[in-house]
């Protein structure tokens, strides 16, 4: 008995479709053996210690994302970042085999900022911002006078932190240190 003309491509196509359908649906219909399940459990158990070891690092990523999306205020972010940075450093040092206590790693937020070069650069930039008593912070860090109202922008002494309000002062009124020549 011979097949009608043009039936061979139809039979081959149907066979290919049924084979592909079987491959695609076999995971959904689920006839998995116990050995593959136990292998998956072992693999997931091996991943869990790494996951817990990096929990503080993951928490840092999460709070960074939450701050960027507006879900976390800046003050809450600073508190959480300080805490999780200490924990992450302790976890990373523990995983490296070195012993360090959380308190010895970082004492406050300034120490943590010094550990991250980007945070340290931001802190230096904020420290260099000069402020006008009337107009507020000025965009030009090296200005002597406010670009908006023309008032003198007070400086601070590098040695003692005393505010220098007099225009053209050459010495600090608090400690007597010579100020940088303008």
Name the CA dihedral angle for 58, 62, 67, 73, rounded to a multiple of 10 degrees: -90
- Shared domain for 91 and 117, answered yes or no, is yes
Residue 15 confidence (pLDDT): 94
Residue 41 inside a domain? The answer is no
What's the total number of domains in the chain?
2
- Shared domain for 56 and 123, answered yes or no, is yes
User: What DSSP designation does 116 have?
Assistant: S
Residue 6 inside a domain? The answer is no
Is-contact 62 72, C-beta < 8 A? no
Residue 166 inside a domain? The answer is yes
Here the tokens at position 93 are 């040092």
- Shared domain for 79 and 114, answered yes or no, is yes
Is-contact 136 153, C-beta < 8 A? no
Residue 13 inside a domain? The answer is no
Q: Which residue ranges of the chain lie beneath pLDDT 70?
A: 1, 31-54, 96-115, 180-182
Residue 87 structural domain: 52-127
> Rounded distance, CA 135 to CA 132, Å?
5
- Dump pLDDT digits (tens) for 12-43: 999 999 999 999 998 888 755 544 444 444 44
Tally of CB atoms within 10 A around 85: 23
- Shared domain for 137 and 112, answered yes or no, is no
Residue 65 inside a domain? The answer is yes
Residue 39 confidence (pLDDT): 46
Is-contact 134 125, C-beta < 8 A? no
- Shared domain for 66 and 95, answered yes or no, is yes
3-state helix, strand, coil in the chain (%, to 5): 55, 5, 35
- Shared domain for 70 and 123, answered yes or no, is yes
- Shared domain for 57 and 121, answered yes or no, is yes
Record the pTM.
0.30
- Shared domain for 120 and 164, answered yes or no, is no
Residue 77 confidence (pLDDT): 87
Residue 105 inside a domain? The answer is yes
Cα angle 134, 173, 136 (rounded to 5 degrees) comes to 15
Residue 158 inside a domain? The answer is yes
> Rounded distance, CA 54 to CA 103, Å?
19
- Shared domain for 115 and 138, answered yes or no, is no
> Rounded distance, CA 108 to CA 113, Å?
9
- Shared domain for 105 and 150, answered yes or no, is no
Residue 154 confidence (pLDDT): 76
- Shared domain for 140 and 111, answered yes or no, is no
3-state secondary structure of 43: helix
- Shared domain for 81 and 100, answered yes or no, is yes
């Amino acid at each position: 008995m011979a097949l009608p003309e043009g039936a061979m491509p139809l039979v081959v196509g149907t066979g290919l479709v049924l084979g592909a359908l079987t491959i695609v649906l076999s995971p959904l219909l689920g006839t998995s053996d116990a050995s593959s399940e136990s292998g998956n459990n072992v693999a997931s158990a091996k991943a869990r210690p790494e996951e817990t070891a990096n929990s503080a690092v993951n928490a840092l990523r999460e709070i960074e994302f939450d701050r960027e999306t507006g879900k976390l205020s800046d003050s809450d972010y600073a508190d959480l970042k300080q805490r999780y940075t200490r924990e992450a450093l302790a976890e990373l040092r523990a995983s490296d085999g070195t012993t360090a206590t959380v308190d010895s790693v970082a004492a406050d937020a300034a120490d943590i900022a010094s550990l991250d070069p980007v945070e340290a650069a931001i802190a230096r930039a904020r420290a260099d911002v000069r402020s006008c008593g009337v107009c507020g912070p000025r965009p030009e860090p090296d200005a002597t006078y406010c670009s908006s109202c023309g008032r003198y922008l007070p400086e601070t002494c590098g040695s003692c932190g005393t505010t220098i309000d007099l225009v053209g002062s050459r010495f600090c009124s608090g400690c007597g240190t010579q100020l940088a020549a303008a």
